[in-house]
Amino acid sequence: EGKPQIGTATLKTNQSTQQGETKKEEEVKTIVTWNMNSITVRYKNKEKWNAFMSFFNRINADVLCFQEVRLPAMNLDNVKNAKDGKRDRGRVKNTDQKSQVDFEIMEQILKKDFHNYNAYFSLANIKYSGQLVLIKRSIPVKSIRYNLSFDADPSEHHEEGRVIVAEFSNFFLLSTYTPNNGFDLIKFERRRLFDEQLKEFVSVLKNKKKNLIWTGDLNIAPEDIDLSHPAEFRRMKKGNVPKEFVGQPGCTDFERKNFRGILSAGDLIDSYRHLAKLRGNKGGAVKGEPAKGEPLKVTPGKVTGDINDNIYTWRCPFLMGKSCNKAMRIDHFIVSRDFMPNVESVDIHGYSVFHNNFYGSDHCPVILRLRGGTGSDPPSGGRSETTSG
């Protein structure tokens, strides 16, 4: 008992409650989101994985939402082309020698590190995209959905594993790995369609008077204050594209307009920015300490904040060159307006161009705490926005 459900030659989504001794039901109090940029690559670096597990054990999260886990879905036929054929997107592939290695790593992770959690996978055909949501076994889950349409079968997955929805007693949790806008018309259209589906999804929940916490790598920097180099980011482009598509993916006028439309349709709030503004501090402040200096001001051509500061969630990897020493805040907790009073704090756990707290990824974990939660404060360096001064 206490182990994740591991089937013969399959690593399965575990949607059952733990049998045996009955434990007191709990409510969600702490949620962590993190774009891992490959869970197996992270695990293979033992030093960084152990550092992450130390962080995780200290936080005592009830729910973990991992994006870009890069695990292939189980194939259900003998089609040789990895991109073709039928898939069970809730199971990790292990039908060949290469996939067996990743499968065994996931067995170790779920048995050893997350044995008290139920695992919910949504995976692409190949080692691309994909999500994993882990929920404590002691927390009842009313329903799980893998798509953005309430008219669709809840078990029908997004083909790239970009959507996982968990319904709890007092709110819905939506974890997305939102498609990058890219630099071409095909990517622009892909993002537009995804945003349209999101807008409809949050609108339905609003009309049903259901609270929502939307988290994940949303690939959007809502304001220039969320960019380390706004002027430079905002003028990037490849080829001749309409003005609304000019800019680094994540901060174009096109994406920001769509994002505002989603927030409006669902009556949603960017929780980190909302709490920061309540404190009179656009950039954020370390929990328990006063805001440092004046609020950050956006000046064309100027850096909005120290690249080493922990007000960003993504930093351009060093392997892309010194010219890419830049950062964005694109990983979020978006919350229903009526549910915001329940949010105690939002922490961005990561700073430095050297990714000291990123555990090998180019993204850092972000933590949301609801009132009445347990668990320690983030380790030194975690940026927190709280509802109290």
The per-residue b/e assignment along 101-118, b for 16 or more CB within 10 angstroms, e otherwise, is: ebbebbbebbeebbeebb
Catalytic residue among 229, 332, 355, 363: 363
CB proximity list for 171: less than 8 A, separation 6 or greater: 28, 210, 211, 212, 213, 336, 339
Model pLDDT for residues 293-326, shown as the tens digit of each residue: 333 333 333 445 566 667 899 988 654 444 467 8
Q: How high is the pLDDT of residue 379?
A: 43
Annotated catalytic residue within 62, 195, 217, 224: 217
Q: Is the pLDDT of residue 33 over 60?
A: yes
Look up 309 and say whether it is catalytic.
no
Task: Label residue 214 by pLDDT band (50, 70, 90).
Answer: very high
| Amino acid 317: pLDDT | 66
217 is in an annotated binding site: yes
pTM of the model: 0.86
68 assigned ligand-binding residue = yes
Task: Determine the Cα–Cα distance for residues 121 and 112; give it in Å rounded to an integer.
Answer: 18
CATH class assigned to 26-386? alpha beta
Is 255 part of any known ligand binding site?
no
Residue 122: its pLDDT value, please?
99
Question: pLDDT for 37-61, tens place per residue?
Answer: 999 999 999 999 999 999 999 999 9
User: What is the arithmetic mean of pLDDT over 67-95?
Assistant: 87
Catalytic pick among 120, 177, 312, 359: 177
**351 in catalytic set:** no
Give per-residue pLDDT as tens, 317-361: 654 444 467 889 999 999 999 999 999 999 998 755 555 558 889
Pairwise pLDDT comparison (20 vs 386), residue with the higher score: 386
Read off the pLDDT of each residue in 218-235 and give the average, rounded to a whole number: 94
Does the pLDDT of residue 130 top 50, yes or no? Answer: yes
- 276-294 mean pLDDT: 48
- 332 belongs to an annotated ligand binding site: no
> What tens digit of pLDDT does each residue of 146-187 get?
999 999 999 999 999 999 999 999 999 999 999 999 999 999
Handedness of CA 348, 349, 350, 351 (dihedral sign): positive
pLDDT of 238 > 50? The answer is yes
**For helices 253-266 and 185-207, angle between their N-to-C axes, nearest 10 degrees:** 10
Is 25 within any annotated ligand binding site? no
Residue 7 has pLDDT above 80, yes or no: no
Mean pLDDT of the chain: 84
Q: Is 359 a catalytic residue?
A: no
Is the Cβ–Cβ distance between 52 and 66 less than 8 Å? Answer: no
Rounded to 10 degrees, what is the CA torsion of 256, 262, 265, 267?
-90
Percent over 70 (pLDDT), the chain? 76
Domain boundaries of the chain, sorted by first residue: 26-386
Q: Give 279's pLDDT tier (boundaries 50, 70, 90).
A: confident
Query: Are 133 and 164 a contacting pair, CB within 8 Å?
Result: yes
Q: Does 363 appear as a known binding residue? A: yes
